[in-house]
Amino acid sequence: MTIADVKRLLKAEILCGEEYISKDVHTACGSDMMSDVLAFVKDQSVLLTGLCNPQVIRTAEMMDIICICFIRGKRPEESIIELAEERGLVVMASDMRMFEACGILYTNGLSGGAKVE
């Protein structure tokens, strides 16, 4: 799946990083707690979140996540989008709820990445 597919499946609007939407993505995670993203995420490329602050972008940066989708109709401020732009991230926004967005991406082939031991 590419980032463009994520955009189409989540009926999302691209807010920045349009030039990178042909990049491949294999795994995703969904959380509003950045602490949990930092704790449990490994090699994920897409982050779905309803949290709207600059730390979402920084968390993605630290974790090498390349695409962030703000869900539940959340729209980040311009300064947050600028931070993402500087880092070459794709940011999109969808009106879907977390459960629905995760389910759609999962059934279309994106995995969670981590295995429960």
Partner 1 sequence: MSNLSLKYVVDNQDFTRAGEASSDVKKKLKMMGVPPEAVRKVAIAMYEGEINMVIHANGGEITVDITPTQIIMILKDNGPGIADIEQAMQAGWSTASENIRALGFGAGMGLPNMKKYSDEMDIDTVLGVGTTVTMKVNICVSHKI
Enumerate binding residues for partner 1 (CB under 8 A): 32-36, 38-39, 42, 49, 51, 53-56, 58-59, 61-64
Minimum CB separation from partner 1 for residue 107, in Å?
27
Structure tokens at 84: 């993402």
Q: Is the dihedral of CA 59, 65, 71, 75 positive or negative?
A: positive
Question: What φ, ψ does residue 44 adopt, rounded to 5°?
Answer: -85, 150
Taking the complex as a whole, the smallest distance from the CB of residue 56 to partner 1 amounts, in Å, to: 7
Q: Which is nearer to partner 1, 45 or 49 (CB)?
A: 49
Where helices occur in 1-111 by DSSP H, the ranges are: 3-9, 34-40, 54-63, 78-86, 98-107
Residue closer to partner 1, measured from CB, 9 or 68: 68
**Shorter beta-carbon distance to partner 1: residue 107 or 117:** 117
